[in-house]
Amino acid sequence: MSFSAIPILDLSKARSPLTKPSFLDSLRRALLEVGFLYIKNTGISDGLIEDVIKQGKAFFDLPEEKKLEVQMKNAPSFLGYNKLGNEVTASKTDWREQIDLSTPHALPTSSDPLYYNLLAPNQWPDPTFLPSFRSTLESYIRQMSTLSTAFTSLVAEAINLPPAAFDRFFDADQQHKVKIVKYPDISSLPEDQRSQQQGVGPHKDSMLTSYLLQASHHPGLQAQNLAGEWIDCPPIPGTLVVAIGQGLEALTHGVCASTTHRVLSPLAGEGPRFSIPFFQGVSYDATFESVDVPEAILKMKEEIVRKRQGERADDVEFTFRKGMWAHLGEATLVNRVRSHPDVGERWYPEILARVRETESKKANWEEEATEKAPENAVAGTGGNTDSWRSLEERMRVAV
């Protein structure tokens, strides 16, 4: 059993006592069986959505030198502008350009953990060129922060937890992030990259929940079902696409599924695709403890797994493994360095060196395992489990 379409949920039904029970039933099925869904009637005004899209597209029309004034590698926070081809997912180049923004924070102090570098002020584009950009995006981040908090409460209720079950994993001034992304069509890419169409490679979002505003008419977003098939998630006006993150899967004993997804670049002549994902944050100080999911919900999840005979074929390793990291911030920092090696080279050279060493040795072990016994390649260690644990330990030390 594996999903073949992405469910659409009407969030207005969660606001009425008469329809909320049926909404929670639908949400529970989406969480346990899919991990990806559309929501409509979100409460975010059409006017704000239109302004966000307008300002987002306008950013990419800035002269190159104005965009580079706020490039990501200016600071260790991983906030700012990323040039086309500067990001890596699944060990391959992502052909997109983007700007990352977040809820504002002061610079960390010298006594703070290294991962507090992720908490910092934004790099805003020159207001003489985009006078409404900052106010529009700050308003959107505030409203999406409220929406994501409310939705997470509904997630808790859907799996028979108290509405505030996840509150302890949030900071009082919790950081949330938004990206504005442009995927050029393949005619803009190097010829040797056009056949791959990797706008962004297969990945799972990191935190609790993500909310994608598909800001142009282009298809390209796909979710991978449990049989390894790619299911299209086309733009639907008036909706946001919600992706369940690895953090939520880890906290709920795997009950809430984190689903692999990717974006294919538009075909030649189709023009650029735009998207604006919002990422609900979790405290970087959070540890990998779990909430107490009711036994009945765990049994429902077990039944789903049983019906598909334990099948789970996807292209992404689950990175938030309990015991590997002391805090969520450590895992997040390493993932950011892996995705943005130019920032790593400037600000985190030791972590980047460990990442590259780990990935090189893992690739070698997988190749050896495939040659000796194909079934060992699934584990990705080639039988070298002690060496693999040693590499993981060295990565922790580097952070």
The reported pLDDT for the residue numbered 385 is: 47
The reported pLDDT for the residue numbered 133 is: 98
Low-confidence ranges of the chain (pLDDT < 50): 1, 377-383, 385, 387-388
The reported pLDDT for the residue numbered 379 is: 42
Tell me if 203 sits within 8 A of 316, measured CB to CB: yes
Beta-carbon contacts of 264 under 8 Å, excluding residues fewer than 6 positions away, are 197, 198, 199, 219, 220, 222
Query: Which residue stretches of 79-213 are H helix?
Result: 133-158
Helix axes 46-60, 133-158, angle to 10 degrees: 120
Model confidence over 172-197: pLDDT tens digits? Answer: 999 999 999 999 999 988 888 887 78
pTM, two decimal places: 0.90
The reported pLDDT for the residue numbered 378 is: 43
Give, for 240, the enclosing helix (H) or strand (E).
strand 239-244
The reported pLDDT for the residue numbered 382 is: 45
Measure the CA dihedral 228/90/175/38, to 10°. -30
Burial class of 74 by CB neighbour count within 10 A (0 to 12, 13 to 18, 19+): middle
Give, for 264, the enclosing helix (H) or strand (E).
strand 261-264
Query: Which residue stretches of the chain are H helix?
Result: 20-33, 46-60, 64-68, 133-158, 246-251, 295-307, 328-339, 341-347, 349-372, 385-398
Beta-carbon contacts of 301 under 8 Å, excluding residues fewer than 6 positions away, are 32, 254, 255
Residue 263, phi then psi, degrees to nearest 5: -130, 130
The reported pLDDT for the residue numbered 393 is: 57
The CA distance from 151 to 107, in Å, is 30
Tell me if 284 sits within 8 A of 326, measured CB to CB: no
